[in-house]
Structure 1
Amino acid sequence: MDSSWNSSAAGLGSVDPQLQHLIRVETQKQRFQQLVHQVTELCWEKCVDKPGPALDSRAEACFVNCVDRFIDTSQFTLHQLEQTQKPKPIFSESLSD
C-alpha cells in the first residue's frame, strides 16, 4: 500500500474548518442538482408525449402538478422523519389530586 496515501488519509481529521464548510456547501449543491435532475426526468416522462418546440398547456399544467406533488411528498416525508427522531415523553402527567 502507498504510504503517501495513508498519511494523506490520516490527516483528514485536521482539515481546515473553512475547507470542511466549503465541502459541505458543494455537497449540498450537488445533492440539489441531482434532485432537480431526478424531478425533471420523472416529470418529463410523465407529462411529455411528443417533444416539440414548446410545451402545450396540458404538458405545462402537468409539470406544475408533478413538481408540486413531488415537493409535497418530500415535505411530508421530512416531517415524518422529524417526528420519529423526536424523543417521546415518558408519562408526564402529575398524579397529585
Structure 2
Amino acid sequence: MSEPTLDDILFSDIVKKSTNVCFLRCVNDPSPNLTGKQKSCIKNCVLRFMECREATLQSLKELSQR
C-alpha cells in the first residue's frame, strides 16, 4: 500500500473538519436518516467551508509573494 500524498492528507483533513462543523450546525436532532432540510444545510455548509478555505489560501499565497 502506498503512502498518502500531501494532497490526500489535506483533503482528508478538510472533509473531517467540514463534516464535524456542518453536522453540529445542521443536525440538531440525530436520527437514523437525515431530512431533506438537514442534507441541504450540510451541503451548503460544506460548500461555504470550501469557498472560505480557498479564499484564505489564495490570500495567504498573495501575501507570501509580496
TM-score by length of 2: 0.80
- d(CA) in 2 for partners of 1:33, 1:53: 24
Stretches of structure 1 that go unaligned for 5 or more consecutive residues are 1-21, 88-97
**Does 1:43 find its partner at 2:18?**
no
Letter in 2 for 1:71: M
Percentage identity across aligned positions? 28
Higher CA-based Rg: 1
Q: Which of residues 66, 73, 78 is equivalent to 2:45? A: 66
Larger RCO of the pair (alpha carbons < 8 Å, separation 6+): 2
CA RMSD of aligned residues (A): 1.9
- d(CA) in 1 for partners of 2:14, 2:4: 16
Kindly report which structure 2 residues correspond to 1:1-97, keeping only aligned pairs within 5 A, or say none: 25=5, 27-87=6-66
SS in 2 for 1:72: helix
Stretches of structure 2 that go unaligned for 5 or more consecutive residues are none
